[in-house]
Amino acid sequence: MGLFNVYPLFDITPVRAQDVYLYDANDTEYLDLYGGHAVISIGHSQPLYVERLTQQLQKIAFYSNSIQNPLQEEMASKLAKLSGCYDYDLFLCNSGAEANENALKVASFVTGKHKVIAFKNSFHGRTSAAVAATDNQKIIAPINAQQEVIFCELGDIKAVEQALIAGGVCAIIIETIQGVGGLDEATTQFFHQLYSLSRKHNCLVIADEVQSGFGRTGDFFAFQKHEWTPDLIPIAKGMGNGFPVGGVLIHHDIKASYGMLGTTFGGNHLACAAVTAVLDVIEHNDLMKVASDISAYFIRQLRDIPQLRQIKGRGLMLGIEFDFPIADLRKELITKHHIFTGNSKNPNLIRILPSLTLQRHHVDTFIIALKQALKNSNK
Ligand SMILES: Cc1ncc(COP(=O)(O)O)c(C=O)c1O
């Protein structure tokens, strides 16, 4: 049996990883500034994380959500403490798409409506409603296209209001900082306007923190900088540091009922051990502060590069924008300098999403490589 061929692959085969580095079978070292799509938060094979998962595996790895699992409550209370989100309950699932799918479903159950407002350049995942709310026609199959989604320009509050007045909207879904779309972020005023319109028109607001959450921006959640209260907060990626896990923080105003949501694997013992270890490491190593500090250093170093057009994003969720396409630059960074970076829908933008444990010397290595790659490509 072959593999269903949906991914264009780099010719690199990592066999082990440590902190911000990947290694192939020849022990060639790769600096990982991408964290496998923003997933690695506390570093590859972080010792406490490995120890906790190993111990958990030896005790019990999985049972379904039909028994008591105190590890879920322990994790939820740590999450509340670290994020400050005390007014929410947690539903656990397995990925970012599922987190958004469940958030949209809750909004539809609660309001009795079915339309969704999403934004241009959004990415919310590949399941039914999540992909319908994703601004990419190429990945929306006819079976998904039957969902009614209105795409507004980010920041266009008039368009949002018009869609709400037309009626039937159960949810507005927004990434606090767009990931795949290219690191654009709405203003604080826009988030506040969205929220107040949502109260007027009886719909819920979903802050998709799948990529920007879990300390990546220097705040636990990126929306917190804008001081508002989303109804639903989908999370995943950095949450498990590579263990597949997702969740939705659901505001206390929304009442649960048996059977409203459900999953076989979500919240299993191993997933809980992984997330609790991630939270402990973020707390004990002060990784949100580390991410803010190293981000400030990173941005200072980048400003030295004359070809740079703009730096987007916050913390360790950064976009480096040029006036020209970056595909060749990225290729040279990985093949010649052994540095992983990311791309986005914006062809001129390099995405940086490393572990929150990144240090100054890693940034220096990248800046030297970037300058050399720019010189070699006559940019
Ligand atoms: C903001 C955002 N939401 C949702 C998703 C989907 O997450 P997953 O690939 O875990 O389903 C992604 C993935 O890139 C994302 O960036």
Domain ranges of the chain: 14-43+287-376, 47-284
> Helix, strand or coil for residue 90?
strand
Of all protein residues, the one whose alpha carbon is nearest to atom 8 of ligand 1 is: 96
Q: Is the Cβ atom of 233 under 6 angstroms away from ligand 1?
A: no
Q: Is the Cβ atom of 34 under 6 angstroms away from ligand 1?
A: no
What is the C-alpha separation between 375 and 371, in angstroms, rounded?
6
Q: Which atom of ligand 1 is nearest to the CA of 130?
A: 4
Q: Is the Cβ atom of 95 under 6 angstroms away from ligand 1?
A: yes
CATH entry 3.40.640.10 includes domain 47-284: yes
Q: Which atom of ligand 1 is nearest to the CA of 180?
A: 16
> Helix, strand or coil for residue 80?
helix
Q: Residue 379 Cα, ligand 1 centroid: separation in angstroms?
A: 33
Task: Please choose, from the candidates 368, 44, 63, the residue with its C-alpha nearest in 3D space to the C-alpha of residue 238.
Answer: 44
Q: Which two tokens stand for residue 259?
A: 């059977």
Q: Is the Cβ atom of 100 under 6 angstroms away from ligand 1?
A: yes
pLDDT reported for residue 145: 86
Q: Which two tokens stand for residue 104?
A: 């949209």
pLDDT reported for residue 297: 98
Q: Which atom of ligand 1 is nearest to the CA of 236?
A: 10
Q: Residue 125 Cα, ligand 1 centroid: separation in angstroms?
A: 5
DSSP-derived secondary structure for 276-344: HHHHHHHHHTTHHHHHHHHHHHHHHHHTT-TT--EEEEETTEEEEE-SS--HHHHHHHHHTS-EE-B--
Q: Residue 126 Cα, ligand 1 centroid: separation in angstroms?
A: 8
What is the C-alpha separation between 375 and 58, in angstroms, rounded?
52
Name residue, tokens 């509340």: 80
Of all protein residues, the one whose alpha carbon is nearest to atom 4 of ligand 1 is: 124
pLDDT reported for residue 377: 83
pLDDT reported for residue 317: 98
pLDDT reported for residue 379: 77
Q: Is the Cβ atom of 210 under 6 angstroms away from ligand 1?
A: yes
**pTM attached to this predicted model:** 0.98
What is the chain's pLDDT, residue by residue, as a tens digit (379 residues)?
999 999 999 999 999 999 999 999 999 999 999 999 999 999 999 999 999 999 999 999 999 999 999 999 999 999 999 999 999 999 999 999 999 999 999 999 999 999 999 999 999 999 999 999 999 999 999 999 889 999 999 999 999 999 999 999 999 999 999 999 999 999 999 999 999 999 999 999 999 999 999 999 999 999 999 999 999 999 999 999 999 999 999 999 999 999 999 999 999 999 999 999 999 999 999 999 999 999 999 999 999 999 999 999 999 999 999 999 999 999 999 999 999 999 999 999 999 999 999 999 999 999 999 999 999 887 7
Q: Is the Cβ atom of 96 under 6 angstroms away from ligand 1?
A: yes
pLDDT reported for residue 97: 98
pLDDT reported for residue 281: 98
Mutate to test the pocket of ligand 1, among 123, 178, 263 (most ligand atoms within 8 A of CB): 123
What is the C-alpha separation between 169 and 177, in angstroms, rounded?
23
Pairing of strands 232-235, 246-251: antiparallel
Q: Determine contact, residues 45/17, Cβ cutoff 8 Å.
A: yes
Give the number of other CB atoms < 10 A from CB of residue 365: 15
CATH entry 3.90.1150.10 includes domain 14-43+287-376: yes
Q: Which two tokens stand for residue 266?
A: 């979500």
Q: Residue 196 Cα, ligand 1 centroid: separation in angstroms?
A: 26
